[in-house]
Structure 1
Amino acid sequence: MSGHDFDLFVIGGGSGGVRAARQAASTGAKVGLAEEYRMGGTCVIRGCVPKKLMVFASGYREMCEDARGYGWDIGQGNFDWPRFRTHLHEELDRLEGVYRKLLTNSSVEIFDARATLKDSNTVKLSTGDEVTARTILIATGGHPYMPEMTNAELGITSNDIFLLEELPKSILIVGGGYIACEFACILNGLGVEVTQYYRGAQILRGFDDEARGLIAEAMHERGIDLHLGTNIVEMARATEDHLAEHGTDSDAAMGADVGLSQALLSRDTEGSGPIWVKATNGKERVVDAVLYATGRVPNTSGLGLEEAGVEIGRRGEVVVNEYSASSAPSIYAIGDVTNRVQLTPVAIREAMAFVETVFRDTPTPVDHELIPSAIFTQPEMGTIGLTEEQARDIEPIEVYCSSFRPMQTAFIGRSDRVLMKLIVSQATRRILGCHIVAPAAGEMIQLAGIAIKMGATKEDFDRTVAVHPTMSEEIVTMREPVRAG
């Protein structure tokens, strides 16, 4: 170990950090890992896993309505948030235990403490101990951004959703990215009256225009009060005058008594009850909660990184090269803390590449090309590769696109539409992008992503026999482009 306590010390117990620690230990390295909160990180404790379970829960109300259209005599029940929340946290506790067991079984020494850097090879722990390591890996992830405005602390973030003692009757969600849109759909599905403000011209900036337009329409149709080109300019705890004038979005007629009886959060807050907000368009309203989903920032503050010689970027990220190496020779970083691609599977891939490079002497750059991803709105969106707008700026393309009412919901008279879209290079015929808006789009894009990553052409898709009757058969039956550019 070259005189050090550890060959590798990992700061952060999320998916990336845990994978790196386990894989490095499998090479015979002595590995330590420090986590200051709960093992599992954002994904397991306050991100992907609890969010997806809430996605499942939010879909049953519509499912019950659909079942009646198919002849089933099913009554509309009430959603029991406390019962769901209890089960949710039991599952998160179980998963945290799994992560700890995986580390222990891999002979990784766990430190339940905050870790900071004393220098490029020394880690200080909040317990007062210090350890040294030949290599240090920063895998501290990120956290939700809170805007700098008066009374911003009255709002909550996506981290807090899973800690609510009870669901608010009404909520204002600020933001237009995938987290904001996912929680708008989730909470709407659970019976919360949802208003969403986004300062841009359309939600889901950076995704395919046609796809995000269809999702915005679907959100409107499901009752989400979406306001584009709109932001909060003022917010405060609602007074009796506010309540008398504006009521709450959940029930204006209830006047000043609305929501005053219950605290919304299990964490400490200064006061409780409805919140008054004023928008850039001049409109005022009172809601039971405000959720900020305005982006995430890397967890680098106070870690001692710059003092250890680590370059920090303008957004607070650890600047790394293609091998995840920082400007300090002994310090590497992976995952959201690098602000490259903020996805759990990417952090895991970066962890694997790091171990190959540092502990198996096989320099392995991280591959960030053609990453499939999903947005768990209702309907879902699955995407890989270039959007139509991005591709047009690079080379001549053909666009193959089909939008239609799927059989399952058309049968019961619902107006839902799905979208299947392929972006094709005119020169090489390779598929440059695939965008799906449909129920289970995340499942579809995972499989389509394999072919596209392999370099499939439009003709490869054309040669594939359709599975009928399915929504996804449209991906292989679109023969003529709808436009070129």
Structure 2
Amino acid sequence: MTFDYDLFVIGGGSGGVRAGRVAAANGAKVALAEEFRMGGTCVIRGCVPKKLMVFASGYSEMFDDARAYGWDVESGAFNWPRFRGKLDAELERLEGIYRKLLNGSDVEIFDARATIKDAHTVTLSTGQDITAKHILVATGGRPVVPDMPGAELGITSNEIFNLETMPKSILIVGGGYIASEFAGILNGLGVQVTQFYRGAQILRGFDDEARGLVAEGMRAKGVDLHLGTNVVEMRAATEDDLKGIDGGTLMDGGKPAPMPGKAAGHGIWVKATNGNEQVYDQVMFATGRAPNTDGMGLENVGVTLGRKGEIIVDEYSQTKVPSIYAIGDVTDRIQLTPVAIREGMAFVETVFKGNPTAVDHELIPSAVFTQPELGTIGLTEELAAENGPIEVYCSSFKPMNHSFAGRDDRVLMKLIVCADTRKVLGCHIVSDHAGELIQLAGIAVKMGATKEDFDRTVAVHPTMAEELVTMKEPVRAA
């Protein structure tokens, strides 16, 4: 059978674009469809704009630090329209680069939604049917809004970058990395931030000691974090709601609740599970993500979907339909951009180079750009202890730069070591630039370094990271 293309990629995010480009470079005839903007979640509404906002929010503390170090500077107000203009321009530039790379690789681009008609055919929203020997689904994921009264009044991480004005107050619902990152970002930009999380501690799944220090640091910086708390209902606030708060009749912990900003009309009235009522300019939901598989026709052609709608694939990213593959967040394996790119590269090795390559999903370093920042690789202390015996090496201290400036920020450097093999099973860092540090520490952990390998490495002094090679005695064992 003759096909229009050797490969048709659905989705213009990092994984899909990389797979399409590399397949084309290996002689395949490739097309790619993207219904929104090239770059996907990471470039357009995720990693890149979020990290730029992290940078912007960090300046709020730098003025005080500069004065402590002898500089004569004055704090200024954050100008959201000015920043957003530069942010939009940067995202347009990056999208242009993605398109240029695809065009330069002779990948044909279709700016349309694509659904799957059969094992070798996709249908575009323009009505056109296109055939391909292989189909790669790389449609990513989307934020999930909870099913509750008034939820439609809230926004998600998709909309946060497009706000016309910065709210004076915001409630962030959720305790994962997206919720916690934006709590720190908006707090740093001068927004009055409240965060609700229904669990006992934010950042579930990360090392308990590390996430505890992150939560402590967030509160110290001004985030009003409420654990064991969720939203019962919400609605558009009325003038009476605002008067009630002004009069102190709505209570929070026995004190009159603070008067929020009223930039967005009368704001949003929220009732919490603890009985508190409050009005916020804005409510943001960061309560999970779902794979983008709705209405794609996958089930009709025999592709198996999981409970959350994720595409079930084997170790080579192949679905139950031999001609259809899937990579990235749509498979709900590990939702990280570099992982999607690795999966795309492995797909090309398997399908177009005749070299079956399974993706290595073990020991992947990652960072959470909270304030303070968290970097991690390997097992948490809790998971490692389940298979013990282990030794825990840990140091928490005030770093030199913050101590001199009079800040109370603390750093955590932590190694989890197998007591039998001496191999470092996990490394967890809470500090400025923890993401940069864990990238380097991750190399050693991935290579199987032992605690003694760390010990033999001479410290770089004075640095925060030298603690990773100077901790001689375990603080506890399990």
CA shift, 1:286, in A, is 0.5
Quick one: distance in 1 between partners of 2:111 and 2:38? 9
Deviations 1:61-89 (A, max 9, x none): 10111111111111010100000000000
Deviations 1:108-139 (A, max 9, x none): 00000000011111000001111000100000
Counterpart AA for 2:338: P
State the match for 1:91 in structure 2. Answer: 90
Quick one: distance in 2 between partners of 1:76 and 1:295? 36
CA shift, 1:423, in A, is 0.2
- Give the alignment of 1:51-450 within 5 angstroms: 51-247=50-246, 259=262, 263=264, 272-450=265-443
Query: In percent, how many aligned pairs have the same letter?
Result: 72
SS at match of 1:435: strand
Quick one: distance in 1 between partners of 2:22 and 2:87? 29
CA shift, 1:395, in A, is 2.3
State the match for 2:31 in structure 1. Answer: 32
Counterpart AA for 1:357: T
State the match for 2:468 in structure 1. Answer: 475
TM-score normalised by structure 2 residue count: 0.97
SS at match of 1:243: helix
State the match for 2:455 in structure 1. Answer: 462
State the match for 1:267 in structure 2. Answer: none
Quick one: distance in 2 between partners of 1:254 and 1:429? 55
Quick one: distance in 1 between partners of 2:38 and 2:266? 33
Counterpart AA for 2:184: C
Quick one: distance in 2 between partners of 1:253 and 1:159? 28
Is 2:267–2:280's contact at 8 Å kept on the other side of the alignment? yes
Counterpart AA for 2:230: N
TM-score normalised by structure 1 residue count: 0.96
1:50 aligns with 2:49: yes
For residues 433 and 252 of structure 1, do their structure 2 counterparts lie closer, same or farther at Cα, with a shift above 3 Å needed?
A: closer
Structure 1, unaligned runs of 5 or more: 264-271
Quick one: distance in 2 between partners of 1:452 and 1:139? 30
Quick one: distance in 1 between partners of 2:240 and 2:291? 40
Is 2:8–2:135's contact at 8 Å kept on the other side of the alignment? yes
State the match for 1:266 in structure 2. Answer: none
SS at match of 1:411: helix
CA RMSD of superposed structures (Å): 1.4
Is 2:238–2:266's contact at 8 Å kept on the other side of the alignment? no
Runs of 4 or more consecutive aligned structure 1 residues displaced over 6 Å after TM superposition: 251-255
